[in-house]
Each structure stands twice: as structure tokens, then as C-alpha cells.
Amino acid sequence: MSRGSVLLTDEDRALLLKISTLLEELIETLEILEDENTMKAVKEAEGDVKAGRVRSYNEFIKELKKSGQIQPQSYKKL
């Protein structure tokens, strides 16, 4: 092996891939935190949850179906 060569094991490659993924997630999180509109929406949503203004996924889908905004087969029931 030449003096400037670096040998990576499969374990090293897996670790580097994991680090890369974590860094991408961190960058995405920072971008979200910097976006004023997104953070305002998050705070409003947290307020809705605290005030009990929430509904289940299935209830939400029923409302959309009833209003004609989605077709009956266009969602999965949980």
C-alpha cells in the first residue's frame, strides 16, 4: 500500500454513511428552525394540541371524504 493510501473497512463505510445521514438530518432541522413561517406553524400546532383541538387520522379522513376532497379508495385506514 502506498504511503498516502487509506483503507476503509466495511464497518468504516457503514459508519460514514450513518454520519452522512445524521448530518443531512441536522442540516434539515436547522433549515426548519430558521424558517419563520414553519416555526410559527409549529407553535400554532402545539397550541392546538394543548387546547385539545385535535382529531384522529381516521376522523380527519372521514371529514375529507364527506366534503368530497378525497375519493374513498385514496387513503389507507389505520
Question: Looking at the domain assignment, is residue 77 inside a domain?
Answer: no
Specify the pLDDT at position 41.
97
The predicted structure's pLDDT at residue 70:
87
Instruction: Domain count for the chain, please give it.
Output: 1
- pLDDT at res. 37: 97
The pLDDT score that the predictor gives to residue 77 is 66
Which letter does DSSP use for residue 10 in this model?
Answer: H
The answer as to whether 59 is a domain residue is yes
Residues of the chain with pLDDT under 50: none
Residue 62 inside a domain? The answer is: yes
d(CA 56, CA 22): 31
Q: Is residue 74 part of a domain?
A: no
Range of the domain at 58: 10-67
pTM, entire model: 0.55
Cell of 50: 394543548
**Residue 33 has what pLDDT?**
96
User: Is-contact 59 77, C-beta < 8 A?
Assistant: no
